[in-house]
């Protein structure tokens, strides 16, 4: 990976880097000053090309980045930073968005742990409801957008108590009428908050329920003080996950059950949307009630399987007739 840019570097004759605020395997995130709008702070996310990629692969990845960044720039929601610009420079791609002040939830949780406490349920739920607002907006966008890297470190609480999802590094756009998905920046998310299907690489079949899993893992962490076992660990040890209220008795039964539901290994067994997860956390619905409602009645089951039922009935009648004839 190329070294990060140094403070004082000016990008596109507009964004002056003041400090590096994050680094990863794909690039860095910089805090910058906007020379065109004095006083405005921006966060500039840098994406570097794969050093092993061919020129054709790099060109394709850059074109894909610019296409998808244009979609992110259309997003407008109070719980999301506004993406205002995107460009390529010296072989690197850049995404410019609002700089969000405040502490992330990982920092707030660490402060709580140092004070021998965990985040109170009503506080954690207030934050979670704001995140669900953002997810509902993203998942219902055209095309739908997945965050793909929800975790405490990627969620900030601003000084005015507003939650912001701050990292679109793994945002995905779902392509209508296509089994594939396309990714702004290739990656697998953070292991402790990543569902099993997100490890699938080229066979990745993530959808909105993947974000639900990551949010459930985040809420689990806030309420218990530690993340749940990873999906890989649970694949090998199916009983590794303990309900949150067994770890922290202050967690209500409804919230604990909703979190466990969101952390189901198979996507089909999780809440099907952010709206459903919200209702579960509020105790308005439960998995058991939904399964009961979706269970077909005897009449419906008979109607759905009428051919088989008629066949069984016919065989029964034939068997009775044969028995009677033998008796006679």
What is the distance between the alpha carbons of residues 261 and 139, in angstroms, rounded to a whole number? 19
Catalytic residue among 104, 149, 167, 211: 149
CB-CB contact of 257 with 276 (8 Å): no
What is the distance between the alpha carbons of residues 186 and 47, in angstroms, rounded to a whole number? 10
According to DSSP, residue 222 is labeled: H
CB-CB contact of 189 with 251 (8 Å): no
Q: How far are the Cα atoms of 24, 62, 114, 260 from residue 217, in angstroms, in the given order?
A: 22, 32, 21, 9
Q: Which two tokens stand for residue 170?
A: 């793994």
What is the distance between the alpha carbons of residues 110 and 307, in angstroms, rounded to a whole number? 61
Q: Which two tokens stand for residue 241?
A: 């996950």
Angle separating helix axes 105-114 and 208-224, nearest 10 degrees = 20
What is the distance between the alpha carbons of residues 69 and 25, in angstroms, rounded to a whole number? 19
What is the distance between the alpha carbons of residues 275 and 282, in angstroms, rounded to a whole number? 11
What is the distance between the alpha carbons of residues 241 and 228, in angstroms, rounded to a whole number? 7
Q: How far are the Cα atoms of 74, 198, 274 from residue 211, in angstroms, in the given order?
A: 20, 10, 9
According to DSSP, residue 206 is labeled: -
CB-CB contact of 248 with 216 (8 Å): no
Q: From the CB of residue 236, how many other CB atoms can be counted at a distance below 10 Å?
A: 9
Could you confirm whether 122 is annotated as catalytic? no
User: Known catalytic residues?
Assistant: 149
């Amino acid at each position: 990976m190329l070294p990060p840019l140094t403070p004082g570097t000016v990008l596109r004759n507009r964004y002056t880097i003041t400090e590096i605020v994050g680094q990863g395997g794909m690039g860095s995130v910089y805090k910058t000053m906007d020379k065109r709008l004095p006083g405005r702070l921006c966060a500039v996310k840098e994406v570097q090309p794969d050093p092993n990629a061919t020129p054709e692969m790099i060109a394709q990845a850059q074109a894909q980045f610019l296409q998808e960044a244009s979609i992110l720039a259309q997003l407008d929601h109070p719980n999301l930073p506004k993406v205002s610009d995107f460009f390529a420079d010296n072989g690197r791609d850049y995404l410019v968005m609002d700089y969000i002040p405040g502490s992330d939830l990982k920092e707030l949780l660490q402060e709580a742990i140092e004070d021998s406490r965990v985040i109170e349920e009503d506080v954690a739920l207030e934050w979670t409801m704001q995140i669900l607002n953002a997810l509902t907006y993203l998942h219902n966008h055209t095309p739908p957008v997945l965050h793909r890297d929800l975790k405490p470190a990627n969620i900030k609480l601003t000084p005015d108590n507003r939650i912001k999802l701050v990292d679109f590094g793994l945002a995905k756009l779902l392509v209508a009428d296509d089994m594939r998905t396309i990714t702004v920046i290739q990656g697998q998310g953070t292991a402790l908050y990543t569902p099993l299907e997100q490890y699938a690489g080229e066979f990745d079949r993530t959808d909105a329920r993947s974000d639900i899993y990551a949010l459930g893992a985040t809420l689990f962490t806030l309420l218990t003080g530690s993340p749940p076992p990873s999906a890989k660990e649970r694949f090998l040890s199916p009983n590794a996950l303990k309900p949150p209220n067994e770890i922290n008795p202050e967690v209500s039964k409804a919230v604990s059950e909703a979190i466990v539901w969101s952390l189901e290994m198979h996507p089909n067994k999780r809440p099907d949307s952010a709206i459903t997860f919200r209702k579960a956390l509020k105790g308005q619905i439960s998995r058991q009630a939904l399964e009961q409602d979706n269970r077909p009645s005897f009449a419906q089951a008979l109607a759905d399987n009428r051919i088989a039922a008629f066949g069984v009935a016919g065989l029964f009648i034939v068997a009775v007739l044969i028995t009677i004839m033998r008796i006679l």
